[in-house]
Amino acid sequence: MEHVHIFDTTLRDGEQSPGASMSLSQKLEIAVQLETLGVDIIEAGFPISSPHQFDACKKISETIQQSTIAALARAVEKDIDTAYEAIKKAKNPRIHTFIGTSPIHMKYKLNKTEAEVLEGITHSVTYARNLVPEVEFSAEDATRTDREFLCRAVDTAVKAGATIINIPDTVGYTVPSEYIDIITMLKERVPGLDNTIISTHCHDDLGLAVANSLSGIEAGARQVEVTINGIGERAGNTALEEVVMSLYVRKDTLKKSTNIRTQYLYPTSRLLSSIIGFPIARNKAIVGENAFAHEAGIHQDGMLKHRETYEIMTPKTVGRSDSKIVLGRHSGRHGLKHRLEQLEIKIADEKFEVLYENFTQLADKKKEIFDEDIYSLLSTSVGADAAMFELESLDLTIKTGSLAVASVSVKSQSEIHKGTATGDGPVDAALRAIEEALAIRSKLVDFDIQSITPGKNSVGEVSVVIALEDKHSAGRGSSTDIVEASAIAYLNAISHSMLLS
């Protein structure tokens, strides 16, 4: 079977989704997890775009040993120099340089002629090749580029020494048959392409990113650019877990292999979701809550008789457990540790202590602790950076026909902040009381609540996105009390926003 390289751009294109920005330590945590997952190339960021991006690329380059580290650069010297400075310590550094090649990009964005764009490609690729042995060239908006010109652009990049040629569907416009045509044409018409790796990079504006990426592979691409949970600009990028599992489950027909350790797919998806505070849609393939649930009686009956009647892969293959009820009040430290081992979750000792404390509090409130509860506890207690603000207490008065009243006490490193407010319902009152306590005004951009386990005493997980001084940040909180979960999520989003500033 031929090998397909997995290029993960969660930390670069993925982070470009509004509200998905991560702190330095969060990026490092994701990068380490991506390496454990078996990703071949990690695109760590766009170093010229900010000092934070530069520092993240540098730190990741100094830490990661197995995966190649790529950094993005426009086709200009100062971007390439900065990218090189950021990743030069990586064991395997790669500079990824790009320029728009479609008429729309050349005319309106770059204000350049075709000749000027070709000159930019020659210069930037040659310049980057003098710094590192691996240079990737992307013809931005390739799928809306005139085909003649695309051939010339790719030929120019190959002649200048590019080792990987990426054909991005920047605006998620192409369809599988067209993407096959484009890549086949390039292979036929650009002779030197035989000695380079062709790459796909698809956006999901029409919901076709995974299908287009698979078509690209069918046409000869041997690198696929993806993000965890498909996060990214607008509708997102190709979801890593979907492409990888398509190649894995259908290796009979697709005949390709990857280096991904599939049992880390679900833990990685959960880790990212907890760090950026984006919930995963219940019906999301591979990692959604319902991806392995069988509701209809006829399906359940079939499953009990023979699993493969309705299941094309086992939950265990992607790192999800079969048995959902696992722990309770009496499980103790040992029981929790054992379950974490079974779920292949590794955490440092001090983080385990925080987790265990939260676990015992939850076990006092509900009898059965499900795996999903453990993931939720992980995300809210140890997955993210230590919160700057903690909810110490929350008092609520709710009466039908009257405004709700909330009083909160919030602990920061050195102080206790208190606030009281009324609101249109208990959640509104609690969030206003927090604003009062911290003397801030923020806008709630998004609010999502999910019950993560069955039963009336289920844990509610709240995800919020806020805008504080025009900066978006996300936070997550969980509790059997949904008002408390909302308050925790709100405080985490405020902490997150301050960590980013």
Q: If binding means CB under 5 A, how many residues of this protein chain bind Zn ion?
A: 1
CA count, 13 A, side-chain hemisphere, 30: 34
The answer to whether the beta carbons of residues 224 and 213 sit under 8 Å apart is: yes
Provide the CA 339 distance to its chain's centre, in angstroms: 25
Choices 6-14, 36-44, 272-280, 357-365 (CB under 5 A): range interacting with Zn ion: 6-14
Stretch 198-257 residues interacting with ligand KIV (CB under 6 A): 201, 203
Q: Which CB sits closer to ligand KIV, 166 or 273?
A: 166
Over the window 165 to 194, marking each residue x when it contacts ligand KIV by CB under 6 A and - when it does not, the resulting string is -x-x-x------------------------
Nearer to ligand KIV, 27 or 105 (CB): 105
List the structure tokens of 342. Answer: 């079974």
- Residue 131's closest CA among 154, 167, 163, 159? 163
- Interface segment toward Zn ion; rule CB under 5 A; list 8-16, 43-51, 211-219, 470-478: 8-16
**97 and 76 Cβ atoms separated by less than 8 Å:** no
Which phi and psi (to 5°) does residue 217 adopt? -65, -40
**Distance in Å, CB of 13 to ligand KIV, minimum:** 5
By CB under 6 A, residue 102 contacts ligand KIV: no
Partner that binds at residue 258, options Zn ion, ligand KIV, none, CB closer than 5 to 8 Å by kind:
none
Decide if residue 496 touches ligand KIV (CB under 6 A).
no
Partner whose binding site includes residue 484, from ligand KIV, Zn ion, none (CB under 5 to 8 Å by kind): none
What CA dihedral angle connects 125, 129, 132 and 133, to 10 degrees? 110
Token readout for 82 is 């900065």
Rounded Cα gap, residues 317 and 339, in angstroms: 17
Which listed range, 11-19, 75-83, 302-310, 325-333, lies at the site for Zn ion (CB under 5 A)? Answer: 11-19
Q: Is 33 within 8 Å of 7 (Cβ atoms)?
A: no
State which of positions 2-21 bind ligand KIV (CB under 6 A): 13
Q: Which stretch binds ligand KIV (CB under 6 A): 162-170, 191-199, 266-274, 278-286?
A: 162-170
**Residue with Cβ nearer ligand KIV (13 or 373):** 13
Q: Which residue is nearest to Zn ion (CB)?
A: 13
Task: Give the Cα separation of 179 and 216 in Å (integer).
Answer: 6
- d(C-alpha 224, C-alpha 256), whole Å: 12
Largest Cα–Cα distance of the chain, in whole Å?
Answer: 76
Burial class (CB in 10 A: 0-12, 13-18, 19+), 417: middle
311 C-beta neighbours (distance < 10 Å), count: 14
- Interface size with ligand KIV, residues (CB under 6 A): 9
Q: In the complex, what is the shortest distance from the CB of residue 145 to ligand KIV, in angstroms, rounded to a whole number?
A: 11
| 140 touches ligand KIV by CB under 6 A | yes
- Binding stretches for Zn ion (CB under 5 A): 13
- Binding stretches for ligand KIV (CB under 6 A): 13, 98, 138, 140, 166, 168, 170, 201, 203
